[in-house]
């Protein structure tokens, strides 16, 4: 039975998730959150350390979260990541943020150009690059504008290629931003090094200059907007949760000296020490959190496109979010790669639920 339903959700090429009901992904009422804190996240007021004015200090008063839906699918081969923003909203994201003390502004989803969602090899080895680039250009402008307005951009992916747009917008507004990239993968490929040509593996590879120079965006259709920058420097980035790194990515991480906490480091140091050292490395910078749901162990987050075993536990995943929020320096964030099509009902439900719980944790929810 379960398999039949899974197969029905693997949308054929060219269809959109809007054609399918998302009712099956709604939270069952008896489900307990267990998120950042004990208790149900639908409590009238969520426990929050928000009132002491130390949190989210880069946002103007009243603290306003701008929800930016970025239903991008072109950076990887599966339809379904485009339903992430819709499902997170339906699960009550807006009211949860309000209960934490945020003023909430929900902006319309970025409208991406449509095109062939094709697996054919692009001559640039960057599949759908014109579509990804066009969408990321739009997203970058929205994110930059929201930061200039003093708001907290909360980007809901979409696949991780949206990181190109959100990070470009963040860096244009605040060039010294520190980035915490929570992911099973390094996402440091370029079209030249990528084995798959899928652009969700390239956001950092495109925005960071490599040992052999910067990427020439003038040769990549859709990416003219990045010809003159911005770029992220290696010292502005920290990885958490890596466990599947391509050979050239490994070489570049070492050569560039990028601060990296793999799952082995999480095992050895513990997540508390990992996050303490990660934030010390980025001290004094406004922070952008890029949270790929595939950083979490696939037992807990099965509905995602590139699962790798041995990921963050439930509490480790929440601790990352809580610790970044409690630093007071978090200024923007995104959550990506939630794809309900890629798991059965329960798996899809649990992944969406985890996504929303992690958002509440990095948006300030605390246990006490």
Catalytic residue ranges? 160, 183, 185, 187, 200, 292, 294, 337
Give every CB contact of residue 135 below 8 A, 6+ residues apart in sequence: 70, 72, 74, 110, 112, 113, 162, 165
Per DSSP, which regions of the chain are E strands?
64-70, 103-107, 152-157, 178-182, 237-242, 259-262, 287-292, 330-336
Interacting span for Mn ion (CB under 5 A) from 59-67, 128-136, 154-162, 323-331: 154-162
Q: For residues 187 and 322, which CB has a smaller minimum distance to Mn ion in the complex?
A: 187
Q: State yes or no: residue 292 binds Mn ion (CB under 5 A).
A: yes
Q: State yes or no: residue 183 binds Mn ion (CB under 5 A).
A: yes
CB contact at 8 A, 312 and 297: yes
Q: State yes or no: residue 160 binds Mn ion (CB under 5 A).
A: yes
Interacting span for Mn ion (CB under 5 A) from 16-24, 72-80, 83-91, 157-165: 157-165
State the Cα–Cα distance between residues 313 and 319, nearest whole angstrom.
10
What's the closest the beta carbon of residue 240 comes to Mn ion, in angstroms?
12
Classify residue 53 as left (phi > 0), alpha (psi -120 to 50) or beta: left
Interacting span for Mn ion (CB under 5 A) from 107-115, 155-163, 273-281, 296-304: 155-163
Looking at residue 160, the DSSP 8-state letter turns out to be T
Cis check: omega of the bond before 158, within 30 degrees of 0: yes
Count residues near Mn ion (CB under 5 A). Answer: 4
Burial of 251 (0-12, 13-18, 19+ CB in 10 A): middle
What's the closest the beta carbon of residue 364 comes to Mn ion, in angstroms?
24
Q: For residues 68 and 100, which CB has a smaller minimum distance to Mn ion in the complex?
A: 68
Q: For residues 157 and 178, which CB has a smaller minimum distance to Mn ion in the complex?
A: 157
Q: For residues 75 and 286, which CB has a smaller minimum distance to Mn ion in the complex?
A: 75
Q: State yes or no: residue 146 binds Mn ion (CB under 5 A).
A: no
Residues from 305 through 344 that contact Mn ion (CB under 5 A): none
Per DSSP, which regions of 248-340 are E strands?
259-262, 287-292, 330-336
Apex CA 271: angle with CA 260 and CA 177, to 5°?
A: 50
Interacting span for Mn ion (CB under 5 A) from 47-55, 160-168, 190-198, 343-351: 160-168
- Considering only 82, 159, 187, 246, the residue that binds Mn ion (CB under 5 A) is 187
Q: For residues 134 and 160, which CB has a smaller minimum distance to Mn ion in the complex?
A: 160
Residues that bind Mn ion (CB under 5 A): 160, 183, 187, 292
């Amino acid at each position: 039975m379960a398999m039949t339903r899974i197969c029905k959700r693997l949308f054929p090429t060219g269809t959109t998730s809007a054609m399918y009901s998302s009712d099956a992904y709604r939270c069952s009422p008896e489900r307990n959150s267990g998120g950042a804190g004990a208790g149900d996240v639908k409590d009238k007021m969520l426990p929050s350390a928000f009132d002491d004015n130390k949190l989210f200090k880069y946002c103007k008063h009243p603290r306003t979260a701008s929800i930016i839906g970025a239903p991008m699918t072109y950076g990887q081969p599966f339809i379904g990541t485009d339903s992430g923003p819709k499902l997170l909203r339906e699960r009550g994201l807006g009211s949860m943020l309000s209960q934490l003390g945020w003023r909430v502004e929900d902006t319309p989803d970025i409208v991406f150009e449509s095109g062939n969602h094709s697996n054919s090899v692009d001559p640039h080895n960057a599949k759908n690059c014109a579509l990804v680039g066009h969408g990321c250009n739009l997203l970058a402008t929205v994110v930059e504008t929201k930061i200039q307005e003093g708001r907290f951009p909360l980007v809901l992916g979409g696949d991780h290629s949206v990181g190109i747009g959100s990070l470009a917008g963040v860096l244009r507004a605040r060039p010294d931003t520190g980035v915490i990239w929570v992911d099973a993968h390094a996402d440091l490929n370029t079209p030249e090094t990528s084995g798959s040509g899928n652009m969700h593996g390239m956001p950092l590879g495109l925005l960071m200059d490599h040992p052999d120079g910067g990427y020439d965006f003038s040769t990549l259709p859709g990416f003219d907007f990045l010809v003159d920058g911005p770029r992220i420097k290696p010292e502005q980035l920290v990885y958490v949760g890596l466990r599947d790194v391509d050979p050239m990515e490994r070489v570049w991480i070492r050569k560039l000296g990028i601060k990296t906490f793999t799952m082995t480091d999480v095992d050895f140091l513990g997540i508390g020490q990992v996050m303490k050292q990660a934030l010390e490395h980025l001290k004094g910078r406004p922070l952008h959190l890029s949270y790929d749901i595939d950083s979490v162990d696939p037992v807990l987050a099965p509905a995602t496109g590139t699962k790798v075993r041995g990921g963050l536990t439930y509490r480790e995943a929440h601790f990352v979010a809580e610790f970044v929020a409690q630093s007071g320096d978090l200024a923007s964030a995104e959550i990506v790669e939630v794809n309900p099509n890629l798991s059965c009902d329960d798996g899809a439900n649990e992944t969406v639920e985890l996504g929303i719980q992690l958002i509440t944790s990095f948006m300030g929810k605390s246990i006490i």
